[in-house]
Structure 1
Amino acid sequence: MAKVLGVGGIFFKSQNPKLLGQWYRDHLGMEVGEYGADFSPGAMPENGLTVWCPFAEESEYFQPSARSYMFNLVVDDLAGALCQVEAGGGELVGEIVKESYGQFGWFIDPEGNKVELWQPA
């Protein structure tokens, strides 16, 4: 049987793709080109991984965003990344949560998408 080997991309609609890409470049250091940002598996931290997880329809985890999705980005410095996002006009959501497998923080980007940042342990 053929099987899935990993996540090949995150694709979503944007009111202004170029402007939103520039915002992520300026405030999270993403190298955004004509076709988005490429992430090499070798750039992932030792304890990093990609998760695919459907949530229950009634889940409130993506709030305060009205979107039916949320994406997670792996970062090397969670506190620093959240400061950069806030300085760039992003809205921080909640407090940093520390788990055995890393730390998490959240923000709403300029187009209303909730984004989870994860710094692996």
Structure 2
Amino acid sequence: MSRVTGIGGIFIKAKNPGELQQWYKDHLGIDVQAWGGTSFRWVDSSGNPTAGTTAWMIGDGGNFAPSEAPFMVNYRVSDLFALLETLRAENCQVLEKTEESEYGKFAWVMDPEGNKIELWEPPANE
């Protein structure tokens, strides 16, 4: 069984999300959208579009709890529920909440240092 297949997103906790979003927009040219982030579309080695995106967002970090870390990484996985079963069998701290939507399937696990990790199985077309 494959586990992580890539990075689906990076989420940054900020004291002043709007100000930090503007800094990244002004100084790094990131096209920060009204929702506080952007989606980087994937390209191949020749620059041609390929399936997949990586989300990047700055917010207040309210959804990071119970972690106190200033970031959360979203990892792409190919079979979320099988991976959760394996992680539980390995005595990992898997949080009980899961979500399913048009964006895919989501679940969370805590690493040994208390960082919350988001696991994401994208929809079939991504």
The two structures share one fold, judged by TM-score above 0.5: yes
Q: Quick check: 1:89–1:110 contact (8 Å CA) kept in 2?
A: no
5+ residue gaps, structure 2, are 6-42, 45-49
How far apart, in 1, do the equivalents of 2:56 and 2:90 lie? Answer: 29
Q: Whose radius of gyration is greater, 1 or 2?
A: 2
Helix, strand or coil at the partner of 1:79:
helix
- What count of residue pairs does the alignment treat as equivalent? 81
Q: What TM-score do you get using the length of structure 1 for normalisation?
A: 0.57
Q: CA deviation at 1:73?
A: 0.4
How is 1:61-80 mapped onto 2 (pairs within 5 angstroms)?
Answer: 61-80=63-82
Q: CA deviation at 1:29?
A: 6.2
Q: What percent of counterpart residues are identical?
A: 34
CA-based RMSD of the aligned residues comes to: 2.6
How far apart, in 2, do the equivalents of 1:68 and 1:102 lie? Answer: 25
Shift in alpha-carbon separation, 1:72–1:51, aligned structure 2, 3 A: same
Aligned to 2:87: 85
Which has the higher relative contact order, 1 or 2, with Cα contacts under 8 A spaced 6 or more apart?
2
Shift in alpha-carbon separation, 1:29–1:104, aligned structure 2, 3 A: closer
Task: String of CA shifts for 1:26-72, please: whole Å, max 9, x gaps.
Answer: x9367xxxxxxxxxx77xx94x320110112xx32001112111101
* 4+ residue segments displaced more than 3 Å: 27-30
5+ residue gaps, structure 1, are 1-26, 31-40
